[in-house]
Amino acid sequence: MKILCVGGGPAGLYFALLMKKQNPAHQIVVVERNRPYDTFGWGVVFSDQTLGNLTEADAPTAQAIEASFNHWDDIDVFFKGQKVTSGGHGFCGIGRKHLLNILQHRCEELGVELVFETELTDYAQYGADLVIASDGLNSRIRARYADSYQPMIEPRRCRFVWLGTRKKFDAFTFAFKQTEHGWFQAHIYQYDADTSTFIVETPESVWRAAGLETMTQEESIAFCERLFAEQLDGHKLMSNASHLRGSAMWITFPRIVCGKWVHWDGNVPVVLMGDAAHSAHYSIGSGTKLALEDAIELARCFGAHADARSALAAYEELRAVEVLKLQSAARNSMEWFENVERYTSMEAPQFAYSMLTRSQRLSHENLRLRDAAYVASYERWFAQRAGAAATTVPPMFTPYTVRGLTLKNRIAVSPMAQYSAVDGVAGDYHLAHLGARALGGAALVFAEMTCVSADARITPYCPGMYKPEHTQAWKRIVDFVHQHSDAAIALQLGHAGAKGSTRAMWDGIDQPLEKDNWPLLSASPQQYLQGVSQTAREITAADMDRIQKDFVRATLAAEEAGFDWLELHCAHGYLLSSFISPLTNQRSDEYGGSLENRCRYPLRIFKAMRAAWPSHKPMSVRISAHDWVEGGITPDDAVHIARLFKAAGADMIDCSSGQVSKLEKPVYGRMFQAPFADRIRNEAGIGAIAVGSIFEADHVNSIIAAGRADLCAVGRPHLANPAWTLAEAARIGYTAAAWPKQYLPGKQQMERNLARGNYGR
C-alpha cells in the first residue's frame, strides 16, 4: 500500500513508522513544509499511562523518548502568596523538537521516506492509496473538504504565549497573579536538563486592558518577567517566535471538533489525524497524546481488517468515543482557566483543589491514591472551616448551616415524582418512601413537587397542599421524620402549567389523560407535545393573583405541617419556568421580553412566599440552568436568574436543567449538571445544590471539596437504595456516620464485609 502523510508532526510521523513496522512492503512518504528542526512550542507533556501505550506500540521509540524525559510527580500551585503542593501525578516532559527528531530517526531507520521543505499543493501526484491529513490545527486539507469533515472551530477567550526559561522547576507549576486589570496565570514545566516551558495566559479583555496588544515582543516578555518575578527568581524568559511581530506571539486556542474524520476522494481515503481532527487544550497536556494514540489505533485497525473501509469505520467508531471523553475533560479544564476570577474569592487550599480537579477526570479518591497525605491535610482544613466536630471527616459528611438550620451532611434526597397520592393526599406510601430515606443517612429529604391547587397537578396522582387533609397528611410524615431520624425534610411547591393533566409516568410520560382533563395555563399559549398535548392558554392578571394566593396558602400550610425547608419549583417547563424561558414566553407585557421581565412573576411568587415563611427557615429555588435548545436559557442566563432570586431572599439555587422543550439536546455524563452549580455558586455568590448523575461518594466529595456546590441532591441511587448515604459512608471507610440504632447490626456487618473485600457475596 502507498501511504502519504501530509504533515511531519507527531501524528504523521508515528503513524508512518507504525505502518512501516507492521508491513515493510508499504511505501510510505511523509511530506513536511518545514525543515527538520523547525517547530513551534517548547516542551510537550505525557502521563505515565501514555508512555505505557507507546511502549506497547513500538518499544524502541518509547525507550528513546523515555531516556530524554524529565519526570516529576508534584504539582505546585502559587496563589495569594501561598504555595500548595500535591504529589503522585506521574508526568514527564520532552522538548518538542527532540520528540520529532526521535520520530524522524525511527522513520528513517524503518525505511519511511521523509520529504522536508515541500509545500504540498496536490497530494494526487503521489498516487497514494491512503492519505493521512496530519497537517495541524490550520489544516488545509480539512478546510478543502469541510463538507465531509464537518468541522466546528471555536476560538476561545484567552490569549496565551509560549515562552521558555533556563530556570529549572522540580514540579509542574501553576502561578496566578492579580493585576489592576485582572488575573494572569502561568503554566510551567521543565522538559529537559536546563529548559522549562513557561506559558502565560489571560482572558482577552485583561490582555487588552494591560496594553499587551500594542507592546512589542520584547516589551511583552519584559511584562511577563516582572509579573512572574517570584517564580523566575532572576531568570529571563525566552521566545522562539522571532518571526512574529509585536502582539502576534499572543494567540488564542481554537477548539476543534470534527463530525467525520474520513473523506473519500474517489477510492482514496483522506483521513484526519491529530490536531487536524481535534484539539485538546494545553492545560491538560493531551494534544500530542491524542495525536500519537490516533496513530496507534489507526495502525491497529489496518492490521485487524482486510480492507480500508472496514478499518477506517472501526477507527472512527473507536477513537471518536475516546477523543470525546478527553475533549470533554479538556473543555472543562480550559473553561476553568478562562474563568479563574470566578474562583479567586476562595482561600488558597480550596482554590488549588478546584484547579486540580477542574477537568472532572481527577476525583477526590484519585487524589487520595496519588497523595494520601495531601488529601488528609485538605480534609482537615475543609472540616475545620465547615465547623465539623471532628477533623477526619470526608467533605460530604461535613455539616452545613443555612439560616437557622444545620444539616448534618451535604446529601439531599432529590424531589422525585412518585405519582402515588389519592386526591392530592400523601398517604402510607409516602410515609414509607420518605421515612425510609430519612433513616438512610441523608441530611435533607425533599418531598416530590407538591401542587398548590388541583389544576396545578401534573397528574391526578400528584400530592397537593391545598386542602386541610393535605396538611394533616404531610404533618404525619414530617412528624415521623423528626421523631425517628436526624434528617430535615423539605417541601417543593410548584404548578405544572402546560405540562399538567397527564398520565402517570409508567402509563405514558407527558401523555394527556384519556378523560377528565382540566384546562391548562402557561406564560404564553403552547402545546408541550406538539399535536398531542392540550393547548395551554395564556395566564391572565386574575390568574396570576389567584395562583399567588395559592402559593402563599400552601406556604403557610407547609409551616403548619412542620417542614424545615421550602423550595419553589421554577424549572422543567412548569408554569413558573414557562415565564423564565424565552422558548415558552412570548408575552409583550411587563412579564415578557427581557430576562428581568420574564423573571418578574416567579420573583413575585417567591417574595410572597418568603414573606409568609418563617425567617429562620431556608428557601431554595429550582431552576433549569440550561434549556439545551438554541435560543433558550443558557448558563450565563442562569447566573443572572440566580442573582435575581438571591436579591429576593433565596438561600440556595437547585441547579437542574432541560425539560422545557422536546427539542432539547442535552449532553449527558457523570456530574453533567455540576458545572451549572459551580457557576451559580461562584459567580452569583449564592448557595448551590448540584444534581444530575451524581451516584457515588467520590462524586459528592469532589464537588463539595472543590466548592462547586454546597449540597448534592441524589435521586435515582436513592430509589435503588434508601440507605445510599450510609452505604457510601461504609464503602469509603467512614465509620462515624450515624446509623439508626435499630440498624446498627447491619452497619457492623457491612463494614466487616467491606474490610474483608467480600461485600455483596
Q: Quick: pLDDT tens for 160-195.
A: 999 999 999 999 999 999 999 999 999 999 988 889
Rounded Cα distance between 558 and 551, Å, is 10
Q: How confident is the model over 533-577, as pLDDT tens digits?
A: 999 999 999 999 999 999 999 999 999 999 999 999 999 999 999
Residues forming a β-bridge with 107: none
Which contacts (CB < 8 Å, 24+ apart) does range 236-244 have?
Answer: 236/165, 236/166, 237/163, 237/164, 237/165, 237/198, 238/163, 238/164, 238/165, 238/166, 239/161, 239/163, 239/164, 240/40, 240/41, 240/42, 240/162, 240/164, 241/40, 241/162, 241/217, 242/217, 244/217
Q: Which residue has the cell 466529595?
A: 701
Is 375 a domain residue?
Answer: no
Judged against a pLDDT cut of 70, whether residue 28 lies above it is answered with: yes
724-736 mean pLDDT: 96
Tens of pLDDT along 472-497? 999 999 999 999 999 999 999 999 99
**Grid cell 475543609 in the structure block, residue:** 382
Q: Is residue 368 part of a domain?
A: no
The burial class, CB within 10 Å (0-12 / 13-18 / 19+), for 506 is exposed
pLDDT score for 283:
87
Q: Across all residues in the chain, what is the average pLDDT?
A: 94
Ordered DSSP codes for 51-100: HHHHHHH-HHHHHHHHHTPEEE--EEEEETTEEEEE----EEEEEHHHHH
What is residue 756's predicted lDDT score, i.e. its pLDDT?
86
489 CB-near residues (< 8 Å, 6+ apart): 434, 438, 444, 445, 446, 447, 477, 478, 481, 482, 563, 564, 565
Do 306 and 421 fall into the same domain? no
Contact 370, 707 (CB under 8 A): no
Where is average pLDDT lowest: 34-43, 138-147, 700-709?
Answer: 34-43
Q: Radius of gyration (Cα) for the chain, nearest Å?
A: 29
- Whether the predicted pLDDT of 231 surpasses 50: yes
Do 680 and 545 sit in the same domain of this protein?
yes
Q: Are residues 334 and 424 in the same domain?
A: no
391 CB contacts (<8 Å, ≥6 apart)? 379, 380, 383, 384
670 in the same domain as 746: yes
173 and 275 share one domain:
yes
- SS3 of 101, please? helix
Q: Which of 318, 338, 358 is the last residue of a domain?
A: 338
Joined grid coordinates for residue 144: 478543502
Q: Which three cell numbers stand for residue 470?
A: 393535605
Which residue, chain included where needed, has cell 434508601?
Answer: 722
Give the residue from 294, 320, 338 where a domain finishes. 338
Q: What's the mean pLDDT in 370-391?
A: 94
Report strand pairing: 196-203 vs 151-165: antiparallel
Same domain, 602 and 728: yes
Using CA atoms, how far residue 132 sits from 20, 96, 126, 145, 277, in Å, is: 14, 21, 12, 13, 11
CA angle 485, 707, 85 (to 5 degrees): 120
Please provide residue 164's backbone torsions phi and psi, each rounded to the nearest 5 degrees.
-140, 170
- Contact yes or no for 392/375 (Cβ under 8 A): no
The DSSP code for 743 is G
Rounded CA-CA distance 189/186 in Å is 10
Is 383 within a domain? no
Residue 500 shares a structural domain with residue 418: yes
Q: What are the pLDDT digits (tens) for 291-303?
A: 999 999 999 999 9
Could you count the other beta carbons within 10 Å of the beta carbon of residue 234?
7
* Active-site residue flag, 419: no
Q: What is the DSSP string of 214-278?
A: G--HHHHHHHHHHHTHHHHTTPPEE-S-TTS-GGGG-EEEEEEEES-SEEEETTEEEEE-GGGTB
Count of domains for the chain: 2
Same domain as 436, residue 312: no
Nearest to 120 by CA among 111, 128, 129: 128
Q: Residue 96: which residues within 8 A CB-CB, separation 6 or more?
A: 39, 40, 41, 42, 43, 44, 288
* pLDDT for the residue numbered 378: 97
What is the per-residue pLDDT across 439-464, written as a single tens digit (0 to 9) for each? 999 999 999 999 999 999 999 999 99
Give one DSSP letter per residue of 674-718, joined into a string.
Answer: HHHHHHIIIII-SEEEE-SS--SHHHHHHHHHTTS-SEEEE-HHH
**pLDDT (0 to 100) of residue 38:** 59
pLDDT at 12 over 50: yes
- Enclosing domain of residue 200: 2-338
The helix/strand/coil state of 141 is: helix
761 pLDDT exceeds 50?
no
**Within a domain: residue 640?**
yes
Residues 301 and 435 in one domain: no
Q: H-type helices in 616-692, by residue range? A: 635-647, 674-679
* 373 within some domain: no
Q: What is the pLDDT of residues 593-609, one digit of tens each?
A: 999 999 999 999 999 99
pTM: 0.93
Residues 282, 398 within the same domain: no
| CATH number for the domain that contains residue 463 | 3.20.20.70
Q: Which pLDDT score, from 0 to 100, does residue 621 have?
A: 98
Identify each DSSP E strand in 525-575 by its residue range. 537-538, 565-570
Q: Do 318 and 411 belong together in one domain?
A: no
Tell me whether residue 346 is in a domain: no
Q: Which of 85, 16, 138, 578 is nearest to 371 (CA)?
A: 85
Per annotation, catalytic residue among 378, 400, 574, 601 = 574
Q: Is the pLDDT of residue 706 over 70?
A: yes
| Co-location of 27 and 149 in the same domain | yes
Give the helix/strand (H/E) hosting 153.
Answer: strand 151-165
Residue 356 covered by a domain: no
Pairing of strands 130-133, 268-272: parallel
- Mean predicted confidence (pLDDT) in 526-536: 93
Spatial contact of 484 and 439, defined as CB atoms under 8 Å apart = yes
The Cα 353–Cα 374 span in angstroms is: 10
Q: Do 319 and 271 touch, CB atoms closer than 8 A?
A: no
CATH number of the domain enclosing 199: 3.50.50.60
Phi/psi of residue 656, each to 5°? Answer: -100, -170
In this structure, are residues 13 and 3 in contact, taking their beta carbons and an 8 Å threshold?
no
464 burial level (CB within 10 Å; 0-12, 13-18, 19+): buried
Q: Would you say residue 40 has pLDDT above 70?
A: no
pLDDT of residue 282: 87
Q: 227 in a domain, yes or no? A: yes
Q: Helix (H, G, I), strand (E, B), or coil: what is residue 293?
A: helix
**Where are the strands (E) in 180-214, listed by range?**
182-190, 196-203
